[in-house]
Structure 1
């Protein structure tokens, strides 16, 4: 699947106290700040959209969080290999297509194209591997067959389920290890988020669906697991293992994916590979609007595309989102956009005319500014502090400056001035 055009990211030369340090990132599994330290290449997987009602500000906030992580890694001198899926066949998409009378493939294609345009406008770095589930049906069916052959999966009628108990005995994975949730909470969330804990015949109510056998009127494909289509969690396990390998650097996504999606994707991957899926599990907070979490089901969406159609500068949208720490839950108010537009205008005015050379003292001040910007972002991607670093500089009415600060703002915050 084609991603979107990558923005140019300027190189910022090392300055005192600068590049080279890896970011600290909050790890959901340990509830601690840990080093997101790559080996030679930073390997990142972020769960992609189910393509309908794209792209709302909750989506955008999540992808900007991990865009910031990529930029910090790159600034530290690491190469980044980034993979992302598209859940282009799933129950919610099929239901929306039926409600609207649009073919599910047409709906998915339209929404993916809209998402591409929004990501490109926001200057989000694209994934190296942008993979639709419908492109890897064969591989998912084969993975399901492997789990069946290893007695880590079983059939209920013709559907295939993952055997959590057997997997915990056979693989380096324990249910609840990532989320830290108790069983009662898991059962509740499973019912809310696509699971079927009450289905008769399952060995454990929490056992997730790996492969859904063919149903009348639903899309299906032949596979080693039989005729049908994939379950939700196995798709990300297979795509991540295919493109990033086992034990990769960071698994990312929204906090609503911690359970069941990321917990069980990690279980599937461990059962298939014999190794943990990822070293760090990082999650972005939820964005609310009008008192409720922004969601497709509630319909309280603020769409990036709608704001762009109204003539809003995408840089202002980006700044409005970066003004909130990536893992905090927060509420969108229209005033946030006005504040971001004022900030953008002030930054542009201060950095409109960089010069070729400044006095030695001024050059040192610029280097110190960039060092503070880097330090803020290395500390758990603290974009609000990073924005304040630039605000304070701008408010101090800096003398003529070189292009070091504008290049750093572009490279690290994605705001081209």
Structure 2
């Protein structure tokens, strides 16, 4: 699947250090430095409907910032993102709107691409729709079945596909058997107790009360063909992939084992990242990733922004209404990526003012002199202060405060500051 146009990223004098990131699994800060010259990043992509809301944008801007720090440290980056272009919520929305699910998905992915371009987000090197790799996923599930790490559950009391005499079965991951035979342990990435995991499984696409499962938390790997739903032929029977196995297979095939950072929102900690990690360990014999990094949730009008509530702030609608996408990005960057926060008109107004101040201070026509009468600050020193802030768990609010300080003091090289704001924060002051 085609991604989007890559923004130009200026090269700055000097280098960042490998950043410290908070790892959800170990609950501590870990240096996110690659073992070789290439940093490997996987961020879970959208299910293509209601794109791109501010929760999506906040996550992708957060991990875009990580890419920018890595690149400023001199590393190459290999970045993979999936698109869950076959899933129950997509089918439900397509049925509700009378649109073919493929057309809905394609239109929403194109909208997402445009939003990412406008927000200056660096595109993934591998942008992969689940529908492109169904055969690979089916082979991975067959591997787990053959090794006794997955099992069958009959559909509708052993019902058959009409006219074929073929018994329909769903395939589930065996958590207990996998724990016995690999280094993976249920709960090791989320640190949640069983009660919490059962609740979240029920809320987030799991089926803990499904009869026939060996354990209520065992996740679906392969869903047998259902009437009115798309399916693909395989040795498992006609069907389609479960949610978590898709990311495991895409990540392993594009990034390899134990890559540097698995990213996504906190709503993916369980069950998605827990089981993606379990599947990957079962398939490869190694951990999925070294660091599991999660961005906070975004609220609107006092409630978490969600498709089910319909309280979505969409990037495309803001831009259509005349909002400068650089101001949208500045709103996101003004919040620490791990914090839960609420989108407000006041935040947007503040970002408009900040953008205006930065444009006045750091564009080619800017006066390098200080506003306060003090001696202009050294631009390279300001750049290094920005780097220090971002090196500590991508502290974009602190980096913004450094730039705001430079606006007040003035700098000896406004052009260098403009380049740094572009390279490190993704806000292009020259366009």
Do both share a fold (TM > 0.5)?
yes
Structure 1: how far apart are the matches of 2:62 and 2:364? Answer: 30
Does residue 51 in structure 1 map to residue 48 in structure 2? yes
Q: Does the CA-based 8 Å contact 1:354-1:402 persist in structure 2?
A: no
Structure 1: how far apart are the matches of 2:380 and 2:365? Answer: 15
Among 361, 385, 407, the alignment partner of 1:394 is 407
The alpha-carbon distance between structure 1 residues 112 and 219, as it changes in their structure 2 partners (threshold 3 A), is same
Paired residue for 1:101? 98
Paired residue for 2:415? 403
Structure 2: how far apart are the matches of 1:83 and 1:399? Answer: 38
Q: Does the CA-based 8 Å contact 1:289-1:331 persist in structure 2?
A: yes
The aligned runs of 1:110-259 (5 Å cut-off) are 110-157=107-154, 158-259=169-270
The alpha-carbon distance between structure 1 residues 182 and 391, as it changes in their structure 2 partners (threshold 3 A), is same
Paired residue for 1:7? 7
> Tell me, which stretches of 5 or more residues in structure 1 are unaligned?
none
Paired residue for 2:27? 31
Over aligned residues, Cα RMSD in angstroms? 1.6
Q: Does the CA-based 8 Å contact 1:354-1:403 persist in structure 2?
A: no
Q: Does the CA-based 8 Å contact 1:316-1:337 persist in structure 2?
A: yes
> Tell me, which stretches of 5 or more residues in structure 2 are unaligned?
155-168
Among 374, 378, 390, the alignment partner of 2:391 is 378
Residue 131 of structure 2 aligns to a residue whose secondary structure is: helix
Structure 2: how far apart are the matches of 1:272 and 1:117? Answer: 35
The alpha-carbon distance between structure 1 residues 372 and 20, as it changes in their structure 2 partners (threshold 3 A), is closer
Query: TM-score, length-normalised on structure 1?
Result: 0.96
Does residue 414 in structure 1 map to residue 426 in structure 2? yes
Paired residue for 2:159? none
Q: Deviations over 1:202-248 (max 9, x none)?
A: 00000000000001110000123221000000000000000000000
Q: How many pairs were matched up?
A: 410
Paired residue for 2:284? 273
Q: Does the CA-based 8 Å contact 2:376-2:411 persist in structure 1?
A: no
Does residue 80 in structure 1 map to residue 77 in structure 2? yes
Deviation of 1:401 (Å) = 2.2
Structure 2: how far apart are the matches of 1:234 and 1:160? Answer: 11
Deviation of 1:353 (Å) = 2.2
Query: TM-score, length-normalised on structure 2?
Result: 0.93
Residue 424 of structure 2 aligns to a residue whose secondary structure is: helix
Paired residue for 2:325? 314
Q: Deviations over 1:141-176 (max 9, x none)?
A: 000000000000000011000000011111221110
Structure 1: how far apart are the matches of 2:122 and 2:186? Answer: 33
Moved more, 165-174 or 147-156: 165-174
Deviation of 1:130 (Å) = 0.1
Paired residue for 1:22? 18
Residue 251 of structure 1 aligns to a residue whose secondary structure is: strand
Paired residue for 1:368? 381
Structure 2: how far apart are the matches of 1:375 and 1:20? Answer: 8
Q: Does the CA-based 8 Å contact 1:376-1:386 persist in structure 2?
A: yes
Deviation of 1:267 (Å) = 0.1
Structure 2: how far apart are the matches of 1:218 and 1:139? Answer: 20
